Structure 1
């Protein structure tokens, strides 16, 4: 049976990656009695940059995998509660059950001014102690993650459990899988790669072979659903024009595949091959498969999230998930699914200006760290020698004062930097490390948190900046659109914080709960579903009862 299933997957893989997915598998399999035992496989899916707004906007169009999940436990207002709504912090909350203040993952990159390397930037998923590692070409590691993931808790309870993670992004794999991952694969240079020193199993070799054929041959443009036609309109930002892309794949262009719906299809193909070859969901202990789908994020950055490209992506994502679930059904696996996002996103201001939001704007370069550092130097008579006076990854977020500033002038420099940032018209709030350190961790409804509380949830005194700067609503922290980067995320506002949260398992009674929850609630909810008994205080989040009937999955 497993061999026949693997052969079917291999035949389906190339067609899926080429974009020739079937119309859609049925949204919901045949009715089943309520399950009485833990699932044998948990599939945790993160759709990168899948905001609650996108989910609501396209929900009526879903007929495949996303439609199936809406028949389960639906929480349309889940929150990545912290202010630094980036890929690494967001992924770190999903299967740890902890806010970034506790996971230690405060951003995609932070700065450690004490390291010997000339570039003080530290990538969230690197081992910077390895001489071969740089922030831009990292030796990939989960070493910065300070808490266990659900897959690691499963392995502690029973070492026979398998913890598998796949994505186009290494940081998604590391943050969802953690330190003890049986298989960890991400996309790099046209193929899926893994941690240094690990071998390529048969499932990955076959997935890479299928992927290589697709990339070498190229593929025509993807079809446009009829309901996407109103979005087929060119919009120009600087020298970049988007809004009419159809994702034709030039022969030999691996990067064009990455920034297209085909990337999600390839990731799900790899996941299904690993399920079959490893026998996930068929072993003596429950298994966990983490799948982070990155195409929505890549497309959102390169083309924005309100154009034809995102409309096509939503249709393809729904179809690809439907095909993936149909394959799991065909294998007869007892599985449960959770789907959420690491953060939301915000469209390019040039299109938002045409869509009743003229207040949306690109950030003024004067708010960038380099500009603020120069202003600080002029105000205090400080000169930069071995590097900038202010380090930062862009407008907003964590700003770090240079260690070249004499100790006796550091307090004055900190106060001056905070004041300079606060005077910027596009800045909503500025907090010092001392202010955030003195605050308790926030509790209660996440949509009601103050900006200070949102910043506190992602603040780690060992890694966060000397000053944390939050931009105003509608300000896109990209001064100028460039090819591949016209829009982004990372703000403390709800278009970036609010994401969908969907749970599904065959036989569980579905329901919809519009009240807000948090992504840190996922891990404790799944732990209860799996029957894991963990000490009180293990998670920042709470258990959600996922059975809409008389049962209670939290007991």
Structure 2
């Protein structure tokens, strides 16, 4: 209760500046680096936090994100692959590997050879369990083919604790990995965990508070005056967006999730686990992964450029500041990295009003159902199961396994020809073509579309062909409910994300040259003095001290 009272006081007095962290943070950064490796790694992922959003709002940040900007700032971090979705993006952050190696090619893929009636496989499920489905998965990291930083830390010293918290199960599993001491995500109004595990007292108490808030509802949130230009209505479908303030209806856990309150609840749980598990105070270094999902939910449901996102950015900054302040009060020696799983693009209705007239919604002719019908009519090839399957209007497409090799070749050839001629398609690559393509190297900003697709390609899971939509094509044909805009493209608005590193005493700097999110894990491993086998990571260590000290050579 005392922790919640302090947070409420800070929220109340924020307008007066009484709880501003700006001055204390500057003092903290000027202090010497503590001796030896940090005792806690705090890995923050902000879902759908593009470099564009970071650049747009960074002058407005006064709390947690203001502090992190005093560290090593890489504004051009790349989720270099083409499949810029939640699961692949989170899979790179703490494994140091690309989807082509770690196996997480998308949020969902198809296994046409499985005996399960449902051929779609969710990235964070164990589909071998009869109780599992993509909508109600038995949550697991079984599909992640490599260890996470937490796995490596526990392998080096079992006393290390590996803790992961998010609104999304896939974020927890991809950042936590295979050996998670505590794993919690949001589901229908409560934080839940892996099957067979029980809630600790701290989690139980957080769930009691969460249930009470959702049952009661909450009034609209304040919008800063500087949000004014974003605070205007835009017609989308049969309604308008752009002026929402997140009033919470009673008994609506879905509305709670798609609001800044979801991040606040995630931070509440993270701080409770810090206290309960005494993280950062044990015999070995610990890692706490916190994936904040509200930016993604807000982006999907209202777009990235309205008043709603402005409120979300303000609250994101405040909640991160609250977590850092809590670690400070605990006297923990910690190092922070903040990045994102992917970026995002605003809804086309608003983009067309903001100097992007080519912004458009994808045509239903690219759906697997429409393509199946068209290709069957062209080729005369049919099948008892769906001829073509995919998880949407772009990405991996799979051709029926019931066809003979000759029939399949005919269908693939016809499909490639038809899709390449579509005006909304930028590129199409076949499975065989990507399999023959070397893994890309060099700066990710210079990669071709084929390079980007190759970085997402894993032979046993990828489709018979990959379709990449053109720039500014939103793969949502009609805005429905909570989905008006999205991500997942091979373009830089989805690939480019910020990477921020901070530890007390490290000299800050800004490096605009491109880096990759796969560089995060080797950078943190070096800070920890963690020895790993050669070739563990696809990325490289970044020296995150702007002075003469080289953090890639260990702290001396």
The normalised TM-score by structure 1 is 0.97
1:9 aligned to 3, 9, 18, which one? 3
What's 1:466 paired with?
A: 464
Alignment map for 1:308-457 (pairs within 5 Å):
308-385=307-384, 387-457=385-455
Q: How far has the Cα of 1:413 moved from its partner?
A: 1.5
String of CA shifts for 1:371-426, please: whole Å, max 9, x gaps: 111111011102242x3210001111000001122223211221111111111111
Q: How far has the Cα of 1:10 moved from its partner?
A: 4.5
Q: Distance in 2 between matches of 1:439 and 1:21?
A: 57
Q: How far has the Cα of 1:55 moved from its partner?
A: 0.1
Q: Distance in 1 between matches of 2:534 and 2:139?
A: 32
Report SS of the residue matched to 2:197: coil
- Structure 1 residues 183 and 20 mapped into 2: Cα distance closer, same or farther (>3 Å)? farther
Cα contact 2:381–2:407 (8 A) shared by 1:
no
Q: Distance in 1 between matches of 2:514 and 2:272?
A: 36
Q: Distance in 2 between matches of 1:140 and 1:25?
A: 39
What's 1:305 paired with?
A: 304
Q: Distance in 1 between matches of 2:68 and 2:181?
A: 27
| Deviating more after overlay: 79-88 vs 374-383 | 374-383
Cα contact 1:25–1:326 (8 A) shared by 2:
no
Alignment map for 1:163-312 (pairs within 5 Å):
163-312=162-311
Report SS of the residue matched to 2:97: coil
Report SS of the residue matched to 1:507: coil
Moved over 4 A (4+): 12-16, 19-24
Which stretches in structure 1 are left out of the alignment for 5+ residues? 1-6
What's 1:117 paired with?
A: 116
String of CA shifts for 1:142-201, please: whole Å, max 9, x gaps: 000000000000000000000000000000000000010000000001010000000101
Cα contact 1:92–1:176 (8 A) shared by 2:
yes
Q: Distance in 2 between matches of 1:317 and 1:541?
A: 28
- Structure 1 residues 21 and 241 mapped into 2: Cα distance closer, same or farther (>3 Å)? farther
What's 1:91 paired with?
A: 90
Alignment map for 1:50-61 (pairs within 5 Å):
50-61=49-60
State the aligned residue count.
Answer: 546
String of CA shifts for 1:66-113, please: whole Å, max 9, x gaps: 000000000000000000000000000000000000110000000011
| Deviating more after overlay: 261-270 vs 240-249 | 240-249
1:26 pairs with 2:21: yes
Q: Distance in 1 between matches of 2:6 and 2:378?
A: 64
Q: Distance in 1 between matches of 2:6 and 2:379?
A: 65
- Structure 1 residues 21 and 95 mapped into 2: Cα distance closer, same or farther (>3 Å)? farther
Which stretches in structure 2 are left out of the alignment for 5+ residues? none
- Structure 1 residues 20 and 186 mapped into 2: Cα distance closer, same or farther (>3 Å)? farther
Cα contact 1:369–1:395 (8 A) shared by 2:
yes
What's 2:40 paired with?
A: 41
- Structure 1 residues 97 and 413 mapped into 2: Cα distance closer, same or farther (>3 Å)? same
Report SS of the residue matched to 1:244: coil
String of CA shifts for 1:309-365, please: whole Å, max 9, x gaps: 000000000011111111111110000100000000000000000011010100111
Report SS of the residue matched to 1:174: helix
What's 1:513 paired with?
A: 511
What's 1:539 paired with?
A: 537
Q: How far has the Cα of 1:293 moved from its partner?
A: 0.2
Report SS of the residue matched to 1:554: helix
Cα contact 1:35–1:508 (8 A) shared by 2:
no
Q: Distance in 2 between matches of 1:127 and 1:517?
A: 33
- Structure 1 residues 363 and 412 mapped into 2: Cα distance closer, same or farther (>3 Å)? same
Cα contact 1:240–1:483 (8 A) shared by 2:
no
Q: Distance in 2 between matches of 1:544 and 1:36?
A: 20
Aligned CA RMSD, in angstroms, stands at 1.3
Q: Distance in 1 between matches of 2:128 and 2:443?
A: 39
Cα contact 2:518–2:538 (8 A) shared by 1:
yes
Cα contact 1:14–1:214 (8 A) shared by 2:
no
The normalised TM-score by structure 2 is 0.96
What's 1:495 paired with?
A: 493
Q: How far has the Cα of 1:439 moved from its partner?
A: 1.1
Q: Distance in 1 between matches of 2:118 and 2:531?
A: 44
Q: How far has the Cα of 1:473 moved from its partner?
A: 0.6
What's 2:527 paired with?
A: 529
Q: How far has the Cα of 1:526 moved from its partner?
A: 0.1
Report SS of the residue matched to 2:452: helix
Report SS of the residue matched to 1:484: coil
- Structure 1 residues 332 and 70 mapped into 2: Cα distance closer, same or farther (>3 Å)? same
What's 1:486 paired with?
A: 484
Q: How far has the Cα of 1:12 moved from its partner?
A: 4.7
